[in-house]
Amino acid sequence: MISWNNLLPSIYGESEDDNYKRLDFLNWLGLSPSTLPASLGKEIKLIDNYRSKSSKAICKLYPIDIECIVGTSHSAYGNKSIVQIFRSLKRAPYYCPKIVNESTFLWESIGKDQLELDIAPVKAFETATLPGCFSLTNGNHRVIITMLIYYTRPDLLPDWFDGQVYVDIR
């Protein structure tokens, strides 16, 4: 088990209100901050060998298994557990209340309709050292929050969610 109080605070600063919103989200998931499940201890590596392509390129979204996401190119989130990244997510205090009140907000932002809905797509690249595994370059907050739900309360996931997140693979 993992305890919230033993995690490092966000590097972006953490007001009492921001921390409350994160803890409120954990409560919504039915999780006790003092005993978080070990599955949230899965480490997301810092994998930063990404070479950016033009952001204006026409992208196509591909489904990848959420469990194949093993890294991030974002240095603030790499080499940390899922729950530690959640504690550090800059946008978590903004997104968590929205997800609690309107969960479609999150599902639209990881689904196959991201482009049609004019949502910046989740972006990832296949890791060089782990074929078939991916590292995120955009959409960390959406994917990490989805992982949090996937590993703790899969019953809250939409019917169409089959363990895959739609990403623009670069």
Q: What is the pLDDT of residues 12-45, one digit of tens each?
A: 777 889 889 999 999 999 999 888 999 999 999 9
pLDDT at residue 54 is higher than 70: no
pLDDT at residue 1 is higher than 80: no
3-state percent breakdown (helix, strand, coil) of the chain, nearest 5: 35, 20, 45
Question: pLDDT value at position 5?
Answer: 84
14-18, 83-87, 141-145: which range is least confident on average? 14-18
Rounded CA gap, 161 and 29, in Å?
A: 17
Rounded CA gap, 111 and 157, in Å?
A: 12
- pLDDT confidence bin for 55, thresholds 50/70/90: low
**For residue 147, which of 139, 54, 12 has the smallest C-alpha distance?**
139
Question: pLDDT value at position 165?
Answer: 95
pLDDT at residue 53 is higher than 60: no
Give residues with Cβ within 8 angstroms of 56, minimum separation 6. none
Direct distance between the N- and C-terminal alpha carbons of the chain, in angstroms, rounded to an integer: 36
Question: pLDDT value at position 56?
Answer: 56
pTM for this model (two decimals): 0.91
Question: pLDDT value at position 103?
Answer: 73
Contact 125, 161 (CB under 8 A): no
More confident residue, 145 or 33: 145
